[in-house]
Amino acid sequence: MPVGTAATVKGLSQSALEDLGVQILLCNTYHLFLRPGHELIRQMGGLHEFMSWPRAILTDSGGYQVFSLAKLRKITDDGVRFRSHLDGSEQLLTPEKAVQIQVALGSDIAMVLDECIETPAPRNQAQKALERTTKWAQRARAFFLEQEKQNDLAQMQFGIVQGATFADLRRESARQLLELDFPGYAVGGLAVGEPHELTCEMAGEVITLLPSDRPRYLMGVGKPEQLADYVSLGIDMMDCVLPTRAARHGCLYTGYGRVLIRNARYAKDPRPIDEQCSCGVCTRYSRGYLRHLFSADELLAAILGTHHNVHFYLDMMRQIREAIAFGNLAKFSSDSHERLAAGPS
């Protein structure tokens, strides 16, 4: 899922996203709650109508954004009290409030509020966060089911497994959430600084417990060469700001590693970003031209770079699906690591 934080994927119009084949976007509850406000979006017909996006939308709970604003927030069993990064106003985000906001937004998939903690974390802190995450999930689930009954919601709610880097806590979190019978489950609190191998280990501990007939979502991942590893574990859904954020900083992905397009070596390079890529950027523009755009800080630089990177990620997922169909996902994963580690010419 490309990340459309404030109801927009930076650098790409909705029609461009449709042309790229994007089926689902992630939008950010925290940011949309603060600006322009969930009630305004409700009055404008909901998030799909507001941003003119006819395909699926997943909204996160805002938990990770609050986690990242450590100096501006205080967590209690009731919820999270924080100060807006926009105007300093004090806000309270509870499990029920997160549901209320997402119901107003009208997303297709809504995440429960969870407590995300730093990694590495001491066991007692991870245990406490797990217990709070479960209690919040129970409250969020009960409130959501009430709203569903009253409003006939066309929305699915996902639970989020926590437990930091402790395998037994991860398993316990999953077991507790299974009792709430969510239609989908996410694995949160990973890819926040721990090694990739540890991310896979923790995700693997959880996936074996989660029902295979429901979506399993690993939040906030990952680098191109890591995607097949996660799918091999049984992950169905992923999101990451990396393709769009990296593009804006001149980091472009290819089947043979990253091209740091601002590098002087590309000034006279007539080749496309990736000679094997079929995206509209690679079929039309040279590395030399793209380097010029980035050097001149032209808006088109970020637009073209983002278009290519999103296409690259979506094509990587297409290749993964193809590898599954032909029964050679393990080989594809191994080859991807080897190719992408080699670096472009």
- Which residues have a catalytic role annotated? 60, 239
Secondary structure tally for the chain: helices H, strands E: 14, 12
Task: State the Cα–Cα distance between residues 292 and 166, nearest whole angstrom.
Answer: 48
**Ramachandran category for residue 297: left, alpha or beta (phi over 0 → left; psi -120 to 50 → alpha):** left
Task: State the Cα–Cα distance between residues 69 and 281, nearest whole angstrom.
Answer: 36
C-alpha dist (Å) from residue 286 to 258, 293, 314: 16, 11, 22
Task: State the Cα–Cα distance between residues 117 and 119, nearest whole angstrom.
Answer: 7
Contact 101, 38 (CB under 8 A): yes
Q: CA triplet 118, 119, 122: central angle to 5 degrees?
A: 90
- What sign has the CA pseudo-torsion 35, 38, 40, 46? positive
Residue type at 68 in one-letter notation: S
Contact 260, 345 (CB under 8 A): no
Task: State the Cα–Cα distance between residues 294 and 144, nearest whole angstrom.
Answer: 46
In DSSP terms, which residues pair with 157 in a beta bridge? 110
Nearest to 279 by CA among 307, 302, 254: 307
Which residue's entry shows tokens 């509850």? 29
* DSSP E strand boundaries for 118-196: 156-161, 184-187
89 CB-near residues (< 8 Å, 6+ apart): 83
Lookup: tokens for 336: 């991807």
